[in-house]
């Protein structure tokens, strides 16, 4: 899936204060944003508000809503979730997979690892169904949260990031979502987003985030 823009999140302690702002890098992206989440300082940007296909960065909002459900005690990390035929059918979509199967009942923790580390679309669907009851309900939750945060250039149509008409976001809006993950759920951010690889169903996959 071709990404039309890039988003880079600079985490706390990773960037030192700059005496002089450098020229923004030239990269093959429709728009990008380099953000220090400690200070909210934008270090570099290019067309950060342009609407584009967010691809798998869609899963940032999917993850935030799952973390929020855990905080609200609507589910736990050790809770198991069924693998629906809809989740299994992601194998036919051509996207990245965790390779869950029916009648497996993976734990929420396992699904989060599969969605975040290896960008598993099947894991994202299983989590969305577990939290929202249905994909339609969960997508509605995603859009309500986007509106609550004032994300003016974001509209979700699915939970995975597969290309779909009317499914878009911007580098700035994705920066807001990522910042909320870091600040609202630091324990989950530390546990999941630093994974270098993940093995499930005897299949080992490297983290798709090269950073």
Q: What is the pLDDT of residue 44?
A: 92
* Class of 51-206 in CATH: alpha beta
State how far the Cα of 166 lies from the Cα of 152, in Å rounded to an integer.
Answer: 13
State how far the Cα of 157 lies from the Cα of 164, in Å rounded to an integer.
Answer: 7
Q: Name the residues annotated as catalytic.
A: 56, 59, 119
Task: List the domain boundaries for the chain.
Answer: 51-206
pLDDT in tens, 163-191: 999 999 999 999 999 999 999 999 999 99
- Per-residue pLDDT for 3 more than 60? no
> How many Cβ atoms are within 10 Å of 96's Cβ, its own excluded?
22
Q: What is the pLDDT of residue 24?
A: 65
> How many Cβ atoms are within 10 Å of 80's Cβ, its own excluded?
16
- Per-residue pLDDT for 1 more than 60? no
Name the pLDDT band for 17 (thresholds 50, 70, 90).
Answer: very low
Q: Is the pTM of this model over 0.85?
A: yes
- How many residues comprise the chain? 211
Strand partners for 42: 35
- Per-residue pLDDT for 43 more than 70? yes
């Amino acid at each position: 899936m071709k990404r039309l823009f890039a988003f880079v999140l600079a985490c706390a302690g990773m960037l030192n204060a700059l005496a002089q702002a450098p020229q923004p890098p030239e990269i093959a992206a429709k728009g990008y944003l380099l953000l220090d989440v400690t200070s909210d300082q934008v270090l570099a940007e290019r067309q950060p508000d342009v609407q584009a296909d967010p691809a798998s960065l869609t899963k940032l909002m999917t993850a935030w809503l799952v973390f929020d459900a855990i905080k609200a005690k609507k589910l736990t990390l050790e809770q198991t979730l069924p693998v629906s035929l809809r989740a299994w059918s992601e194998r036919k979509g051509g996207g990245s997979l965790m390779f869950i199967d029916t009648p497996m009942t993976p734990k929420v923790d396992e699904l989060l690892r599969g969605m975040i580390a290896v960008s598993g679309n099947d894991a994202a669907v299983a989590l969305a169904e577990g939290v929202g009851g249905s994909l339609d309900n969960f997508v509605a939750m995603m859009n309500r949260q986007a509106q609550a945060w004032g994300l003016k250039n974001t509209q979700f149509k699915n939970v995975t990031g597969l290309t779909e008409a009317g499914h878009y976001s911007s580098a700035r809006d994705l920066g807001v979502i990522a910042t909320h993950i870091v600040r609202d759920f630091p324990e989950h951010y530390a546990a999941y987003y630093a994974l270098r690889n993940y093995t499930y169903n005897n299949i080992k996959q490297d983290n798709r985030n090269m950073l």
